[in-house]
Amino acid sequence: MFLTGFAALAVMPLLPVAARDLDGVVLYPLVAGAFVAASLLGGVLGGTWADRAGARRPLTAGVVLTVVTLLVSATSTTIWQLALGRFADGIAAGLVAVSVNVAIGESYPDHVRARALALMSACWIVPSLAGPPLAGLVAAWWSWRAVFFGLAGLTLLPAAAAVLLLRGQAPQAGAAQGTKEPETPVRRPALPAALAVSAAAALTQYGVSAWDVRHVVCTVSGLALLVLFAPRLLPPHTVRAERGLPATVLLRALTSGAYFTLEAFVPLMLSTARRVPGVVTGLAFTGAALAWAGASWLQGRLQDRVPRHQLVAVGAGVMAAAVALAVLCVLPAVPAATAVSSMVLAAVGMGLATPSLTLLSLTHAPAGGQGYASSAMQTSQNLGQTVVLALSSALFSAVSTATTGQLAPFVWAFALLVLPVAGTVCLAARTRMTSPDQQRAPEPAATTSHHAEPVDET
């Protein structure tokens, strides 16, 4: 997980450099969005595979594919090869993310899972501090390709070790689950639907990058495909926030969409409208990573003191305060550096809400369906990020064309985020366990010391 975080935080700042070097700046939005779009497909594949064969096989496939795709990206001679590498890397990330959740569900009783998730969040602290500057130095002194080659080499040995730790561990259907939800059937997502949703996400992210006929057609087509096919990848009645797993999956989409959209627009505002030094923007990402890890550690210590659904509501409330602070920072009289605190505050909310939603999803998963639940959560997170970011970007572009001011578009983009966080606060109670004794699952007869958790940072 340490290397996963390092790779995620090191690669993203290099993509604009690689796109320029490959004469493909025009297609940069497609390259940047390919990872998230493909992780939708990878999550569906990983969830179905994990329920059938346990966590080890999809995890093996995911880590091997990760190394291969890093090499594909490193040897890119065209922008299309780089986009292909990022798309394949997204599939690998989806496989790994779902497999790791299933591994935790198979290996740990409920009262230990929270601390395992907190430990995995802590693995992002050092990468957040060292990843971007080290990658920048390597790219400046040598080449951006060297970063991809180096990450492939570093990932190979620990990835093999993680796979070996799960060797011989068979899937334990429901062994570590607390709640069985017979009213939530395990409806396996169809592969064509997953492919359609991945294509729709890529179209949407490319389409909102500009306002012309071609981009509008791509945006409308992508959103139409999402509306048509996305419900087939989620539990029944997710849109209606039915109690249990459907509501948990929906809230993952709302919180992730709000956070990652805020994370996209605050640095943009700092670098363009407020003209702050780049080091300030870097501090925003570092502070957010530290805040997320700290809040995740805290929720692990509150396991037996505060119900999980209440932690979700509190986390969403903190995010609402962060959104309000971001809107306030648009005012010229407010110091620009104050916007950094909005990202940090939002990360605190996510550190409380995200692990809690992950644990609730494992608890609400039907018997033998932890892979299904993890896949639904991964898919929901990526869908939420795609849709909320697309809506905010479209609103931002529309206001930008209607006004000459630089700050007004940010006000509307931030204000839109009030809707998903307020919805999370209102719907958090629908994710609660039906009785207190379901907060703790019976400990399996045999447990392992394997630690793994996907922390989806884009």
Same domain, 306 and 392: yes
Q: 85 lies in a domain?
A: yes
Same domain, 199 and 275: no
Same domain, 208 and 69: no
Single-letter code of the amino acid located at 88 = A
Q: 452 lies in a domain?
A: no
What is the CB neighbour count within 10 angstroms for residue 290? 18
Q: What is the pLDDT of residues 333-344, one digit of tens each?
A: 788 777 788 889
- Under 8 Å CB-to-CB from 39, ≥6 apart: which residues? 90, 91, 93, 94, 97, 378, 382, 456
Q: 394 lies in a domain?
A: yes
Same domain, 286 and 434: yes
CA 260 distance to own-chain centroid: 8
The segments of the chain whose pLDDT lies below 70 read 12-13, 16, 25-30, 32-33, 121, 132, 162-163, 166-190, 209-210, 271, 276-282, 368, 371, 404-406, 434-458
The CA-based dihedral angle spanning residues 297, 298, 303, 305, taken in that order and rounded to the nearest 10 degrees: 170
CA distance 355 to 308: 9
CATH of the domain at 109: 1.20.1250.20
Same domain, 172 and 196: no
Same domain, 168 and 247: no
Q: 183 lies in a domain?
A: no
Residue 324 has a pLDDT of 92
Whole domain around residue 164: which residue ranges? 1-176
Same domain, 103 and 14: yes
Residue entry with tokens 């492939």 = 152
Same domain, 199 and 139: no
Same domain, 154 and 217: no
Same domain, 271 and 420: yes
Same domain, 241 and 288: yes
Residue 401 has a pLDDT of 75
Residue 456 has a pLDDT of 43
Same domain, 263 and 276: yes
Q: What is the pLDDT of residues 9-44, one digit of tens each?
A: 777 667 767 877 888 766 666 676 677 778 778 877
CA distance 340 to 330: 12
Q: 291 lies in a domain?
A: yes
Number of domains in the chain: 3
Residue 179 has a pLDDT of 41
Q: 12 lies in a domain?
A: yes
Q: What is the pLDDT of residues 188-202, one digit of tens each?
A: 556 788 788 888 887
Q: 228 lies in a domain?
A: yes
Residue 214 has a pLDDT of 82
